[in-house]
Amino acid sequence: KAGVTQTPRYLIKTRGQQVTLSCSPISGHRSVSWYQQTPGQGLQFLFEYFSETQRNKGNFPGRFSGRQFSNSRSEMNVSTLELGDSALYLCASSLTGRPDNEQFFGPGTRLTVL
């Protein structure tokens, strides 16, 4: 079974631009969560989607948004990029989205904002 895939793997943008990241969960997994990882703040969750509905949101500004499609694939968008948005963005999927469900992480997208 294929794992979680994320595209692109690396991205360089400039301040003020916007970016869209994509995540394909493991086949059959209905829950997709997005995380931002930085050296200073660690791993912080951005939001979670389940069956195309956002049901969990972390403490990030409205510039960060996402969506999930009917095939469970998910995208996240960051508008008006700031230098502080440079980070590793990780996507994780789980089968049912219950608290005892293991999260399977993708390799991440490394975003650099110049």
Partner 1 sequence: GQSLEQPSEVTAVEGAIVQINCTYQTSGFYGLSWYQQHDGGAPTFLSYNALDGLEETGRFSSFLSRSDSYGYLLLQELQMKDSASYFCAVPHRGYSTLTFGKGTMLLVSP
Contact between 90 and partner 1 per CB under 8 A: yes
Which of positions 14-33 make contact with partner 1 (CB under 8 A)? Answer: 31, 33
* Residue 82: partners with Cβ closer than 8 Å, 6 or more residues away: 15, 113
Q: First-to-last CA distance in the chain?
A: 37
CB atoms within 10 A of CB 3: 12
Give me 3's structure tokens: 């794992």
Using the rule CB under 8 A, which residue among 64, 87, 108, 113 binds partner 1?
A: 108
Distances in whole angstroms, Cα of residue 44 to Cα of each of 1, 34, 55, 64: 27, 9, 16, 13
Contact between 106 and partner 1 per CB under 8 A: yes
Measured from the CB atom, the residue of 48 and 85 that comes closer to partner 1 is 48
CB of 43 to partner 1, least distance (A): 4
Contact between 66 and partner 1 per CB under 8 A: no
Q: By the criterion CB under 8 A, which residues form the site for partner 1?
A: 31, 33, 35, 42-45, 48, 50, 55-56, 58, 90, 92, 94, 96-108
